[in-house]
Amino acid sequence: MLSRLYIRCVFGCLYITMSLYGIGCLFVREDDFAPSVALSPKTELELSDIVVTSVDGDFLALLPKNWTFIEKTSLQLSDIFAIAINPEYNSSLVFTKIPFSEKKETLPFDNKELIRIGIAKHIAKSSGKVRQLGKGYELILGPKKFGYFEFIGSQQTHKTRSVVCLSSLGNIYEISLVPVPVTGKTAPSEEVSDKLFRSFITAIQY
């Protein structure tokens, strides 16, 4: 059993990581996007029956097996509605409702636009310390579609994976697989992280 002090340390590391990322403005050229990718509906890693839902009830997903929720009362990040962490305490899923002032009718909220909005959120408070990795692209899973992108901070050695989607109520949600930089903990391999995130996405409903 991990001590409360250790868990608080994880809270602190996760807070520092996520507090870099606010809302802002970023221009992404059309050629910054890669072709769409079809995602298999079959999970590669087992999911649990633990459900995470948005406040408005227009988003739900299943946590990976053996993952647990973190109480976020000490993390003053109002846009985040849930945080989950793996048993090794070295990787987390962060669920965010992205605030956006424009009305849905005034913007072409396709997945390229959602990727632009998602990336902008992550550079606003970073003073240029966050950069996108590669090109964003659309993930297609049957009738569901997501915007996908990856980014990394200047002090990070492992990337964050994110998907964004637009709910039936017009809310923009982002779900990020975030490495937790705790001393003495080895981060999951890229292969494991990719499999886990792909499996997790298959159970998202919005």
Largest CA distance in the chain: 51
Rg of the chain in Å (alpha carbons)? 16
Mean pLDDT of the chain, nearest integer: 83
Q: What is the DSSP string of 33-102?
A: BPPPEE--SS-SS-EEEEEEE-TTSS-EEEEETT-EE---TTS--TTEEEEEE-TTSSEEEEEEEEP--S
Q: How confident is the model at residue 117 (pLDDT cuts 50, 70, 90)?
A: very high
Angstrom distances, CA of residue 145 to CA of 26, 42, 96, 139, 199: 22, 16, 17, 6, 15
How far apart are the C-alpha atoms of 199 and 62, rounded to whole Å? 10
Write out the residue range of the structural domain in which residue 139 sits: 4-202
What's the structural domain count of the chain?
Answer: 1
Q: Provide the 3-class DSSP secondary structure of residue 103.
A: coil
**Structure-block tokens of residue 169:** 């109520």
Mean pLDDT score, 146-165: 92
Amino acid at 1: M
pLDDT at 5 over 50: no
Q: What is the CATH number of the domain that holds 160?
A: 3.40.1000.10
52-100: pLDDT as tens digits: 999 999 999 999 999 999 986 655 667 899 999 999 999 999 999 998 7
Share of the chain above pLDDT 90, in %: 61
* Number of helices followed by number of strands (H, E) in the chain: 3, 10
Of the candidates 4, 3, 6, 1, the residue with the CA atom closest to the CA atom of residue 180: 6
How far apart are the C-alpha atoms of 63 and 166, rounded to whole Å? 20
The pLDDT of residue 27: 47
